[in-house]
Homo-oligomer: A and B are copies of this chain.
Amino acid sequence: MQLRFARRISKTKKSFVREIFKFLGDPEMISFSGGFPNPDSFPVDGIKEAAIKVLEADGANALQYSSSEGYLPLRQYISKRYQKRFGLVVDPSEILICNGSQQAFDLIAKVFLEVNDTIVIEYPAYLGALQSFGFYEPSYKEVKLTSSGLDLKQLEEALKDNPKLMYVVPNFQNPTGTTLPVERRKELIEIADRYGVPIIEDDPYGQLRYEGDHLPAVELLDSQMRVQNGSYTGNVIYLSTFSKILAPGLRLAWVIAPKDVISKLALAKQGVDLHTSTFNQIVAHEVGQHGFIDRHVKVIQRVYHERRDAMLESLEEHMPEGVTWTHPEGGLFLWLRLPEQVNATSMLQEAIEEKVAYVPGEFFHPLGDGQNTMRLNFSYCNPEKINEGINRLAKAIKRKLVL
């Protein structure tokens, strides 16, 4: 076969994070690399009961083709849950179900991006989103993340160049774990509206908070502006997912956006895979009945809270001077900064020999800097493993500092 591949794919590199996953088969390996939820927290019995019930009650329907927008009762469930828990009023017609948030990135890019269009991103940024967007060959405009979220002065400068979209993770950002304060969220909306640039708000971890008060989503603040000002049509495309609160292997996420945008995303989804698995959507809807997800979120919060604390304590105990880290109030990740002379990318091989894995920070820095940083996941391993893994990691770092 003559391999005349398209430019977009020839330019794309394999996801480094997913390449690291290959080492995880080793049972001795302690992995802080993936964004894997703790599998012990998956509600296996709840999903089993739901699957049985769904197949017995209406199996043929659960296995048939269904709509590109998603299973209506599931969209109604999501709509009701936002209203009840967060006071966000959203019509089911403003919700699209997709195969994980990764597909939402692809659909949004497909609907909005021309080659060389600019996307404003946080810096460092979630690389999974960049990988999706990258196939549409955009330019990026980077806005620095400070310890308290996005640098809004830099943001305003970036928006003056008329970018097509802006991508942010306001809660417990991937990779840094930082959170955007509520006042900055409001400013973000105002600035974005002033320059007419839609905000993609990616919120996979919003419900996984272990300390402090829940902050309103940018989408909620934006909807309050719509209520105050009837002519304001809203400027946020909001993403969230069942991957972190139920199970990622079901590949179920959702987009909330104005109807005009949802209808274009659904059109794109028709073309890319017709629809998300009917069976998984109906099972998730069934699992969600009788408050199961709210109860389950509390279980996950407790487990991950303990693991985050274990990681913070282990870092305190083992890390040499000159290493600093973020203190995330929720989510799955924290961010480690090494002394300038230590290169986390080249150190990875040695860390893997020590049986500990992480993601080098460089991969979240499309401009090529950040070599002395790394992302650590604290949701996957139990506290004992976390302590041992941080100990191994500290040893590898100390060896580098001695050299």
**A contact residues vs B (CB 8 Å cutoff):** 1-9, 12, 14-15, 18, 21, 34, 36-37, 39-40, 42, 44, 47-48, 51-52, 55-56, 59-68, 98-100, 102-103, 106, 110-114, 128, 131-132, 134-135, 164, 196-198, 233-235, 247-251, 258, 260-261, 264, 267-268, 270-280
Contact = CB atoms under 8 A, between A and B. Distances in A.
Given A60-B40, A63-B248, A5 B48 contact: no
Nearest to A268: B9
A173 to B, nearest CB: 19
A14 B267 contact: yes
A22 to B, nearest CB: 9
Contacts of A12: 267-268, 271
B233 A62 contact: no
A114 to B, nearest CB: 5
B60 A270 contact: no
Contacts of A270: 14-15, 18, 131
B278 A249 contact: yes
Given A18-B68, A40-B60, A103-B272, A114 B249 contact: no
A368 to B, nearest CB: 21
Contacts of A102: 271-274
Report, nearest first, the 6 A-B pairs whose CB atoms are least far apart.
A44-B59, A249-B278, A63-B247, A39-B60, A63-B249, A103-B273
A1 B250 contact: no
